[in-house]
Amino acid sequence: MIGRIRRQDVESLQLAVHDELDASMLDAIAACARRVALRLRAIRSLSRAAASRQRLATRLAPHADNFEQVTTILDELEQDGLLDDAAAADQIAQEVLRRGPIGTYKLTAMLRSRGFAGDLSRSVAAKYLDDRDELADAMEAAQKAARGLDRLPPETARRRLIGRLARKGFSASVVRETVERTLSRD
């Protein structure tokens, strides 16, 4: 078996050039190599997309010897500054909001579904959406959604517009007002 181990593993195992390796030492070296491979897998995963600690743990678990190994790797990544739930949640929120307006409920639910804690999800949603005008965001989303609804009967158009806005996470009162304003223009 060929693998990589870290310098600190070499030191902790007290390996030296020309040492004879018995079976237990080979097993220890193999365990270190698997641990390094797991760490590299975690880093590659984080380089592709921001992730919560929980989601990264789920991704790594099938490749680890045990869950304690996963926890140790995640702790090391946090200490090295490579894993930060708050920064990852911020990054994801910015990406989501670049695609178009959404409501607080949707952003919070989206962050929760990606493994972020409820308090963190709510605070990130508040950070990005509290200063915005929810009604203006809902109106923007409604105007985009209403383009294809003009051919439908009014009640069907109303029902579909309500559904689209609700799925985008806008509050019921904002959805109601937005639908009235949007459909009264037509």
**CA dist list (Å): 57 to 63, 74, 83, 182:** 10, 7, 11, 45
* 32-65 residue pLDDT tens: 788 889 999 999 999 999 999 999 999 999 999 9
User: Sorting pLDDT into bands at 50, 70 and 90, what band is 26?
Assistant: confident
- Where would I find the beta strands (DSSP E) of 15-134? none
Q: What is the pTM of this model?
A: 0.76
What is the pLDDT of the chain when averaged over all its residues? 88
What pLDDT was estimated at residue 100?
A: 87
Single out the residue of 130, 97, 104, 166 nearest to residue 178, CA to CA: 166
* 105-125 residue pLDDT tens: 999 999 999 999 999 999 999
What pLDDT was estimated at residue 128?
A: 94
* 84-105 residue pLDDT tens: 999 999 999 999 999 989 999 9
Q: Which amino acid is at 33?
A: A
